[in-house]
Each structure stands twice: as C-alpha cells, then as structure tokens.
Structure 1
Amino acid sequence: MKSSSKIPASDTAIRKQKRKSIACRRCHSHKIKCTGDQPCLKCRQAGCPAECHYVNRDRQIKVHESYLEELAAENQRLRAQLSQSPSFLTPREYQAHDESVPEQDADTHVRNPMLGERAWFLPHDPSLPPIHVCEAACTAFATRLRKVLTKSETTSHMPRTQYTPEDTLMKIRNPAMPWPNLAQARLLIQIVSNQVTRVYHLILRKSTIDQLEEAYREGNFDDPVLTCKFFALFALGEVYSARSSPSLECNVPGVAYYVNAMTTIPILPERPSLAHIESLLLLSLYSFFLNRRHSAFLLVGSAMRLGLTVGLNHNIPESKCPDPVRRQHRTRLWWAIYVFDRMYGSKVGWPIQISDADIYVDMPSNVPGDIHNDHTSDTEFLIASIELAKITGQVIDRVYSRKVFPESFLQREQKLLISLKEWSCALPPQLRLSRDGPVPMNVISLHLQFNQCIMLASRPVLLHALIQATSPEAITEDSSQANIRQTLKALSDACIHAARHTHLLIVEEWTNASVPIFGYFYAHYLFSSALIMVISSLVYPENSNDFALFEAAFEILRAMSSHGNLAATEFYDNLECVKQCLNEKRGSEGGHFQSDPSRAVESSTEPLAVIAPNQLGLFGNTSASGVPDPTVPTDPANDMAFLGESMEEFLAQPEADFDLLDPSLTDAVYLWPNLSLWTA
C-alpha cells in the first residue's frame, strides 16, 4: 500500500524558513558548486581555506500589517507618556524618532543633569543641516530655564538669526576700497591699542606703527597680508570708537574693512607669516561684533593650526630668532590663540582644540632692555589670563561634556572651585579690584571672565534648586528650602554672588559710558548674569530684589539692541521669552513660587533707578532699604570665603564624604532612573 504523501503544514513552514545556501566568493567566481561549509570543501581541496568568505545578504521578511500597526500604536503611547513626564530637561523634541526611547545604561549619575544622552540638534532651515546647540551656551541655558518654568516639552530653542549673513557681506565688499588717510589710520590703531591689545597680545605696537608709516611713505598698499592686517585693525578701531557712518546693509561700524580683509587674506598659506596669524586673530575678534560666532571659531582654529605649523607651541632657540622681542612675541601670540580658544568655548560650548599636554612653550615674560615697551599687555596680567583660560577649558570639559568620569558631579565641581579659589588668591595686587581709584578696563574684563567661569560651573546646581522649588512634591511638603543640602546651597550662592558681581561691574561701566555699544562680551556677560538673577529671585525669598537686577539687565540689552548690537538683540529676545514664561507662570501657578518677583520693581517704573551703583554692595547685595551690606569684603573675587563657612566646608570636604550625602534629594525630582549628583 502506498503511503500518504501529505506533508503537515508545520513541516512546510519549516522548509520555507530554511535558509537558502549560497556559494562562497571563490566558488562563485569559479562557477563551481559550493558545499556551504566554513571553509567549504572546494576551498579546502584547493589549499586556500583562508579565502573562503561569504557575502552577507540582508533578507526581506514579510510581516503582517496588523503587527506594524501595533508597533505604531505602542510608539505613540510611549510618546504620550514622555510628553506628560516631568523629565523636561532633555532635548528630545529635537532628536530623531528612535531617540525617544530612554537609555538604560546612561551614566547620568555622574553627568551634568542638564545634559541629555545625545547631542542637541535644532531643525531650522530644511536646506541646511540641523543646528547643533551646545549645552554650555547661555542661550541653551535660557531654553532650559524656560522649560523648567513652563514644564512643557514643546518649549523650543530660539535659533540664532541676529547675525550678518554672507550675502550682506558680499554686497558691502569693495575690492578698490581705499586706505584711510594717515592721521585717521593712526587714530584707529591707537584705539585698538587702548581697547584690545591691553587685554590680548595680538600685535607688536611699535613694529605695527613703523609698518604703517612705511606703507604710507612708500605707497605700498599692494601686499595682501599687510593690507589684511591693517584693515582688520581699522575695523576694530571703528567699531570701538562707534563714530563711523553705518552702511545701508549693516549698522556695525568697520564692517567694510572687515569684509575686504576677509577676502584679501590667503586662506591656506603653505608658509604662513606671523602677520598672517595676527590677522586671523584680529578678524576672529571682530566677527563677534557681527555675532558671527562660527566664523570666529573657524578663524581662531585656523590661527591655531597655522601656529602649530610654525611651532608657536614650542620655545624657539635663540640662534633661530636672535631678537628677544620677536621671540617673546611668538610666545605671547601663541598664548593669545590659547586664550581665544578657551574663551570662545566658554561662550558657546565648543570643546577645546588643543590639549595642555601638547603645549611646550614657556609662559610670557618681560624682555630686559625693551626701551620701546613694545609689549602692550602686562606680563602678570597675561599669565593670570592664561591660567584662568586653562580653568575655563576644564569647566567646559568636566561639566558640559558627555565623557565618563571616575568622580561624581559634585566632586568635579569641588575641584573646579578649588582651582578658581587658588587662582583668585594668587592674583597680584594690581590685578585686584579696588575702590581707591578707577579700575583699568583689562582688570574688569579679567574679573568678568572669572565670574562667568564660576557661573558656568555652578549654574546646573542652581537650576536643580529651581526644579526642587517648583516641583509639586516640594511645594506640598513646604520643604523646598529645608531639603536643599548645605552643599547645594553653597554652590547656588557661589553662582548668585558671581552673577551679582558681574551685574554691578557692567552697570558701573554702563553708567560711566565705558561699555562698547556694539560689543559682544559685555552683552554676553550681562545676559548670563540676568538668567541667574531670575532663578535666584524664584528660589530664595530673601533674594527677591534680584529680579530688579534682571530688569536692569533687560533694559541695558534693549538699549544696546536699539543701537544695532546684534548679539544684544539675540540676548534681549531670549530674555523677553523668559519674561513671558514668568508672566504665564504667575498667571497660572504663581503660588508655587517662593516669592513674587514683581514686588522687586513696584517702587520704581525705571528699572535702572532701582540698582544704582551707590545703592549696591560690591556684589550687588540689596536689602529691603536699599542700603549696601557693610560686611561685604572690598574684593570678594580675590577670596571665595565671602560665601561663608558653607563654601569653605564644601571646598575642604574629603571626596569620600560625598557618598554620605543623601541622593534621594534629587531622585524625587528627576524621574528618570539612577540620576544623582553625588554618587559615582
């Protein structure tokens, strides 16, 4: 009897699922049958088993449409849960669709809580790549603050649109642009010497004046590198004097010189000169007046790489460069590149471009017998600037990078603040702030950068304090103040005091008409401190007057913006959005805040009148009566003991003691797992 040939359906499915064998590359090329082994029989017989390789093929698998619909519904459900979650500090609305899945292995317990697992990208122009938002940027911090205030994932970052674009610059370009007359050129160079080269060593003063005189005497205006250098100097001279007539395309003075210098200088010189590197640094500095931060970053990066090609990061032997002034100029020019690299990174959040371990050149020093005083910057000032720039680079690396560190977040904070304290205590007397007489502009600039470094390092902790103060759990228990450990309070106080000090210094410069109306850095420092003032007034009831300082900064930025300052316009727009969020919050959930910031300005309709310098202590401390605190030290930036015993205890605390702090203080606020500022 013939057996049945019917095959079960399961066996049929198994046969269909059986992988179809393929030939290895060698058998396929020789068109012979392959056994499918590894190595196959034919390759073994031919004596070349190492050549037996198979092509990886991506098979297409059919799935039911209902399964795809279930996956889409599950994805939508997870997105809805994420949008309702309080974890609004991660920039998930700008990330790809698959990034909405939380990462289980993220080392968030040792990272700045402001950072997400992935980089933050903002889609803006469909024809261009998305904008990368650096977390250390103050505008990014402003967006984080607005997210905390609104508790909404839909709060979007404001893209930077207030800058001079390339098409506008090309309209201004004039290849036949003449040089100014000699008298005007001398004045512009003198302005740069007073405003720029006292802070950064970019040129040799006497040598530059000699080159200028020689160019006019001999009519030598055809050298492209020399023309670029002087046009960059003329551009800076005009923008600092702010006396030139703006063009129809751009309101920033000196832009015509800048455009022609940018199009004159060779981009890739095989044998760069020092004048070429000087020009790049001058042009990078002017780019900030146009709010072209990316251009400034690229220019200083080019200057650094050209400096590496000529060995500026090494000491040059005396036999190769006998002139001591020239040798010292090489040294100082390299350190100017170094300071620019760290300083630009602190403004926007870019990583440092060269490690300290790759620098072998000595620190700046005095040149005996320099009768012309060709070094326009004080040696001790330059050394202090370099040391501060080094700490600034460490802040960007240790607080705002996504590296995995062996220490906890607070341990890194402690080391950074110890470095800042040691730096401030080591300042020579002439670089300390004093009320005995006028303070030089370069000293003010140095302390503004010092305060900014403190704010960069500590403002994530202050933002954390705001999250605690506005969380429903903290409000219900009425313990938003009591639950903040003394360690966090000390770090928050450091941030607030630095912001007040920055505010006071800039307000005094503003009232003395010493602030460059088109300047970038004063506007940036003021914007950074204003954000801290908002948080301070919301978290701590005793700091309600800090909102008056925010209002004053808002008015100064508005005035600078109305005169055509592009950076101030960007920062003013961001502060305006912050004010709008505050008004909406007070209208809907105002009772959740610890103080009402509007009370700080009820007594005056003019915000600047509330914070006149003679009504503030050196750190901007205000009391209910407006009388400055007489206990404020004369120069608090020189010793961080002004923050009290809590800061001293924090700086002296052994690293092991951080593990004893209770991590549950933040676990109740941040709902994603394993997030603690303390544990390593």
Structure 2
Amino acid sequence: MPRSSFSDNPLLRVSRPVSACSRCRSAKVKCDGKLPACTACEKAGRETECSSANDQFARGKERSYVAALELRIEKLERRLTYARSRKASVYQHETDAPPREPERKDSLATIRAAIHRNAARKRETSDVNSLLSDFGFLSINATTGDFEPSTDMTFARLVLAAASNDTLPDPQSWSLPPRQTALAIAQYYMTNIYSLYPAFPETSLYSVLDQIYMTQDRYIKDHDYWLGYMVLAVGSMAQSQTSQDEHYANGLHFVAEALQHADGALMPGHVAQIRSLILLTQYSMLDPAHFDSWHLIGFTCRAVIDLGFHQDPPTEQMPDKTMLDMRRKMFYCVYSLDRSISMVHARAFCFPDAATHVAWPRPSSFSRRASITGQILSGSEPAFLLFQLRRAQSQWYQILFQSDPTPIHDATSFIWQMCQDMREWADALPSTLPVGMRELFDLEGPHITDYGRVLIFEHTLAYLDRIYEVAHSGRSVAFYTYHDALRVFFMANQFAAVLRDAEDLLLAGVNIPPPHTEHGKPQPPPLPSRPGGPAGDNLERSIACLERTLQLMAKFGQLWANSASLKQSLELSTSDLFARLQMRQQMRQRSPPQTVSPPMPREMRWVGVDVEAMIRGNAGGSRNVKYEQ
C-alpha cells in the first residue's frame, strides 16, 4: 500500500498525560502550568480555584490522569450536594413527608402517593443524569499508566462502569467445567470466530488453558486469565439458543471470572489491552443485556489510536514480520468491528479511513496450522475476506453519510458500481470457504425506478428467508450476534416500505427490464433466484415472509430480551400491510385472477427514515443523492 501525502492521511496524535489545571481543561484553553496558579486563572481572577501542581503533588511532578479525575469528582460531588440541598428546601413546601399508605377506598390518597413516587423517581434520575453528563467532559487517555496506588480508580473500572448494564452472577458459586468441555468450547471459538477475528496468536490460547487447568499453583498473568476466560465466554454464548440454556449460563460465569482480572488485562499502555477489549466487545455483541457494544468499541478504537496501531511503524522499528502481521491483524479486527457496529447502529465511525495507514497482513500469515489438540483448524482465510468487505463498505458509508452534503454526480452509476463491486467480491470467494462462512458473507449482501423497487423487494425477501433458515437450522455456525437481529428488523422494515410504495406493481409480478446504461458504465445488478421460478406468487411469498420474520424475531427474543421489543415494534408497523395482504388473498380465493396493469411509479417512503432530510444533508451528515426516474 503506497504511502500518500500527509494531507490525505493525517496522523491522529497520541494523547499525553493530563498536565493542565482543571479549569483550563474544562474551558479547553492552553495552560502554562505556572505556579502557584496558571496565567489563565490569574487573568480570570480565579487563582484560588487553580488546581496547580503544588497542592496535589510535589514540585516538578507531572499531574496524573487519575488525580485529575479525582479532583473533578470531588468538585462534582460538592455541586451535587449543594443542588440536593436547594431541591430539598423547595420540595418541603410541596410535600413535607411521604404520604401514608392509602386505604383502598381513598382514591385521592392513592393519586397523591403515585405523584410522590413519580416525583422522587424523577429527582433521582435528574441527579444521576446531571452527574453523568459532567463526566462526559473528561478526556480518556488509554496510555496513562501512572495510577496512584492509594486510589480505587482504574481505567478498567471506568470502562466497565460506562459499558455495563445488568449485574453478572457471583463467580464464587461456580466451578470450571471439565477440561474436555473447555477445549471443545475453545475449538468452536477458533473455528467460527477466530477465523474472522484473529486478534491473538493461536498457540497462546491453548497454552493459557493448559495453565488454568493445571493442579499445581502457577503464576498466570491477568491478561492471560482474561484471554482464556473470555474466549470460553464468547464461545459458550455464541452456541446459546435461549437465555435459559446451559451455554448462556456458562457464558455469564466465564465472563464473571474474567472480570476479576480486569484491572490487569485492561491496563493502559500495553498491547494486551487491545486484545482484551476486542474479546470483551465480541462478548457484548452476544450479550447486550449485560454490556453495551457501542461504548466498548469506542474504548477499543481509542486504545488503538493512542498506541499508534492505526499507522504502520517504520521498517527499522519492527523488523520481525510475524509481529508486524499480528499488529496489522489486531488493527483490522478493531476496524472491522467498528465498521460493523457503527453501520448497524447508523452512527459515525470512531476514526475515518483517511486517518489510517495500515497495509494488509501477508497472505502467508493466514495459512492453516494444526492446533495443539491435534485437529486442523479452519484457518483464518475468512478474516482477510472480512477485512476487504469492511474496507469497501466503509468507503461507501463515508461517501453517502459522513461527507459533505453536495450531490453526487451521476448517482445512479455510483449505486450500480457499488453493486458491481459486491458481485465481483462475492464471485471471487474461494470454493474452499466453509459453508457457514459463505452463508455469513452472502447475508452481507431514494426516488428510485421500478427496477430498483423490484431489486429491493426481491433481495430483502431473499435475505429474510435465508436468515430464517439459518436461525432454525439448529446448527451453530459462523458468528451471529444481536446485531443480526437489528439487521433483520431493518430489512423487514424496508421490505414493508417498498411493498407499501408499489404494492400493485410488486404483487402483480410484472417483469421489469433493467434500465439502459451507457456503454462502459456499471450495469444494474440482476435479480436473485426465486423459489419456484418466475411463476411464483408474490402475494403468497410476501405473506409468508412477514409471518416468518415475526417468528424469527420471536426466536431471537428467547435469547436477547431487546429483540422482543423489536418484534412488537415490527408487528405494530406492519399490521396494516399484513391485514391488507390477507384481504387480497381472500378476495383472490373468491374470484378468478385478473390481470393487473403496472401502476405509475410513486415516491418511496422508508419506515423510520426521513429521506427528504437525508437528501438535504440534515440527517447525520448524509449526502444528497439524486436518482433518475
């Protein structure tokens, strides 16, 4: 990969330990560190508020990141105490004491009790939100390692406090499964997940598992414990079908064991920190009830940037090609996770492509090798394919949603080119690719024309049918997470949207020829193969697709509670369409079929998406794309 100019690939500066006083840091102004008060505080007449070095540390010692956090927390606590005292004096006039438990017949007392409970809950929520919002001004430095031994604040605890949801079970009441069971879980992880995200040397995992299961006492580092337990946690959770089965329970206990070593595993300034955060992010994608993947990938990307992994080092600094390949794999694992999580949540990437300069790992570094268990692993070839796919998707996503709002010249050719690139990539997939991985890649797969409507209808229907078969096959293959439930929800909404927009056209099954394009320009993509051939009934297919999609969301709800709410939302949004399709079905059964002429095209309405705002460039910086009729 040739190195481009600095203006095309700006370097992200590595953060340094905090040295400014708290007031200058909050105001985002330069602090000269002058003693006993800095120049900015002197000019503002706030000398007494300047938290200079002489009142926290000995003269000449640089301010510590943790000390700055503690000082900020102390000030926030004083503000919170003052605010609570002010609120208490106000609420005394409203209600001096909580009302007594009302009698059953006293309806007025019941209403007063409910109002008091709601007011108390609102006050508590407001206080917590106010305190947490102040923490948003604190910068996070993933390379600061000078934590004071007298404080309880660590980087790991900050990460877990921000990304944790529900509490985990107590690991003390649980014992490790038999060694053979753990090896089977590790083998599943290596076959289905490591082959996509090779973030650590393969042999290190089995070495760690051997040490964990040895009877004699041996010293094991925290990040090694974390590696072993988190691999077992991800491998167990990936095999779970419901939140009540044994795999789910084992996953919870494995991650609870790993968290006991979080302070050492997530220690800033070490390469092991990136590996540990990658594993925790993978787990969060399988267990959204306990961890937030969006926050975790943000911490992971910050660690990558602070340690400089987003830029290839000079050759003289890293002559070992094996270590350089491992460094590049770790970067692209984080890159792929960031792109996947950001796109499924419709949010901006943690860092743009222009700020990175990392070559691909050597193809020979993805070669197949025999594991310690004596079995041949599936290899890491799918990882290289995944890296290529995420790189292409990243470029399209940034052009469409993260660039300036000026219109794209010849937007139709741009869309067809994207489709052609995806077809060429899919056609180039090796024949030796495992079936589960090929299925995973196949599923990765505006004012628009009639052919565009047919494309959306056929491809979304094919996707929903395919993912339904994968989910009900009973086989635990590849790496499917809660984000796939979000994709199903999005695809089902788009299927319903295009069906509402051109219901008569799509249900009639009219053969729409591809639009004509000039010679040399990308050609429109073909339609997917249809079950039953071209003569298939689109009305029956649409009704079956909506029914199967709701069943699929219900199955996801057995494992992820959030999917149950997605199912309710999808059920509500498609109820009118489903009823109308069933009415059409009943009318067809009562009367002979009639030929329906194709209607005039109408403007498409996307469910939950303001297309006009996106075209104007007012929705997350989306780009103005104009399509031809």
- Structure 2 portions without partners, runs of 5+: 1-123, 134-161, 508-538, 594-600, 617-623
Which is greater in Rg?
1
Q: Give the residue type in structure 2 aligned to 1:397.
A: Q
- With normalisation by structure 1, the TM-score equals 0.52
Contact preservation (8 Å) 1:189, 1:237:
yes
Structure 1 range deviating more: 224-233 or 501-510: 501-510
- State yes or no: 1:490 paired with 2:420: no
- State yes or no: 1:299 paired with 2:262: no
C-alpha distance in structure 2 between counterparts of 1:187 and 1:599, whole Å: 52
Match of 2:496 among 534, 546, 550: 534
C-alpha distance in structure 1 between counterparts of 2:312 and 2:612, whole Å: 53
How far the C-alpha of 1:416 sits from its partner, in A, is 4.6
The secondary structure found in structure 1 opposite 2:194 is coil
- State yes or no: 1:504 paired with 2:468: no
Runs of 4+ in 1 over 6 A off after TM superposition: 368-371, 374-377, 601-604, 662-666, 669-672
How far does the alpha carbon of each residue in 1:3-60 deviate from its partner, in whole angstroms, 9 at most, with x for none? xxxxxxxxxxxxxxxxxxxxxxxxxxxxxxxxxxxxxxxxxxxxxxxxxxxxxxxxxx
The secondary structure found in structure 2 opposite 1:445 is helix
C-alpha distance in structure 2 between counterparts of 1:307 and 1:500, whole Å: 39
Contact preservation (8 Å) 2:341, 2:483:
no
How far does the alpha carbon of each residue in 1:329-350 deviate from its partner, in whole angstroms, 9 at most, with x for none? 2111111110111100111112
C-alpha distance in structure 2 between counterparts of 1:244 and 1:492, whole Å: 36
Alignment of 1:272-671 (within 5 A): 272-274=270-272, 276-291=273-288, 295-316=292-313, 320-321=317-318, 323-367=320-364, 372=369, 381-401=382-402, 404-408=404-408, 411-412=410-411, 414-427=413-426, 429-431=428-430, 440-450=435-445, 461=446, 487-514=448-475, 519-538=481-500, 539-541=502-504, 542-543=506-507, 544=539, 545-561=541-557, 563-580=558-575, 582=577, 596-599=581-584
Q: Percent identity?
A: 13
Q: Give the residue type in structure 1 aligned to 2:437.
A: N
Change (3 A) 1:489 1:525: same
C-alpha distance in structure 1 between counterparts of 2:471 and 2:259, whole Å: 32
- Structure 1 portions without partners, runs of 5+: 1-123, 133-163, 451-460, 465-486, 587-594, 605-623, 625-661
Contact preservation (8 Å) 2:165, 2:292:
no
Change (3 A) 1:187 1:664: closer
Change (3 A) 1:277 1:387: same
Change (3 A) 1:490 1:264: farther
The secondary structure found in structure 1 opposite 2:475 is coil
The secondary structure found in structure 1 opposite 2:167 is helix
Q: Give the residue type in structure 2 aligned to 1:405.
A: P
The secondary structure found in structure 2 opposite 1:512 is coil
Change (3 A) 1:554 1:664: closer
How far the C-alpha of 1:421 sits from its partner, in A, is 1.6
Change (3 A) 1:270 1:251: closer
C-alpha distance in structure 2 between counterparts of 1:180 and 1:378, whole Å: 27
How far the C-alpha of 1:497 sits from its partner, in A, is 2.9
C-alpha distance in structure 1 between counterparts of 2:196 and 2:318, whole Å: 26
Q: Give the residue type in structure 1 aligned to 2:202.
A: R
Aligned-pair RMSD on alpha carbons? 4.6
Q: Give the residue type in structure 2 aligned to 1:449.
A: E
The secondary structure found in structure 1 opposite 2:364 is coil
Alignment of 1:96-245 (within 5 A): 166=164, 168-170=166-168, 172-174=169-171, 178-217=175-214, 219-220=217-218, 222-242=220-240
Q: Give the residue type in structure 2 aligned to 1:257.
A: F
Contact preservation (8 Å) 1:391, 1:420:
no
Contact preservation (8 Å) 2:274, 2:300:
yes
How far the C-alpha of 1:235 sits from its partner, in A, is 1.0
Change (3 A) 1:321 1:526: same
The secondary structure found in structure 2 opposite 1:196 is helix
Q: Give the residue type in structure 2 aligned to 1:424.
A: R
The secondary structure found in structure 2 opposite 1:254 is helix
C-alpha distance in structure 2 between counterparts of 1:293 and 1:396, whole Å: 29
Alignment of 1:34-53 (within 5 A): none
Contact preservation (8 Å) 1:339, 1:386:
yes
Contact preservation (8 Å) 2:205, 2:227:
no
How far the C-alpha of 1:190 sits from its partner, in A, is 0.8
Change (3 A) 1:165 1:663: closer
C-alpha distance in structure 1 between counterparts of 2:499 and 2:241, whole Å: 39
Alignment of 1:50-65 (within 5 A): none
C-alpha distance in structure 1 between counterparts of 2:289 and 2:365, whole Å: 40
Change (3 A) 1:211 1:222: closer
The secondary structure found in structure 1 opposite 2:559 is coil
The secondary structure found in structure 2 opposite 1:330 is helix
Q: Give the residue type in structure 2 aligned to 1:392.
A: Q
How far the C-alpha of 1:574 sits from its partner, in A, is 1.8
How far the C-alpha of 1:361 sits from its partner, in A, is 1.6
How far does the alpha carbon of each residue in 1:113-159 deviate from its partner, in whole angstroms, 9 at most, with x for none? xxxxxxxxxxx976666999xxxxxxxxxxxxxxxxxxxxxxxxxxx
Contact preservation (8 Å) 2:243, 2:559:
no
Contact preservation (8 Å) 1:201, 1:336:
yes
The secondary structure found in structure 1 opposite 2:344 is helix
Q: Give the residue type in structure 2 aligned to 1:514.
A: R
Contact preservation (8 Å) 1:560, 1:568:
yes
Contact preservation (8 Å) 1:200, 1:336:
yes
Q: Give the residue type in structure 1 aligned to 2:459.
A: A
How far does the alpha carbon of each residue in 1:484-523 deviate from its partner, in whole angstroms, 9 at most, with x for none? xxx4333333332331231232133234222579842442
Change (3 A) 1:426 1:240: closer
C-alpha distance in structure 1 between counterparts of 2:497 and 2:464, whole Å: 15
Change (3 A) 1:380 1:182: closer
Q: Give the residue type in structure 2 aligned to 1:559.
A: K
C-alpha distance in structure 2 between counterparts of 1:445 and 1:664, whole Å: 33
How far the C-alpha of 1:531 sits from its partner, in A, is 1.8
How far the C-alpha of 1:377 sits from its partner, in A, is 7.1
C-alpha distance in structure 2 between counterparts of 1:165 and 1:287, whole Å: 9
Match of 1:258 among 251, 255, 277: 255
C-alpha distance in structure 1 between counterparts of 2:327 and 2:341, whole Å: 21
Q: Give the residue type in structure 1 aligned to 2:544.
A: A
The secondary structure found in structure 2 opposite 1:168 is coil
Change (3 A) 1:489 1:597: farther
C-alpha distance in structure 2 between counterparts of 1:176 and 1:319, whole Å: 51
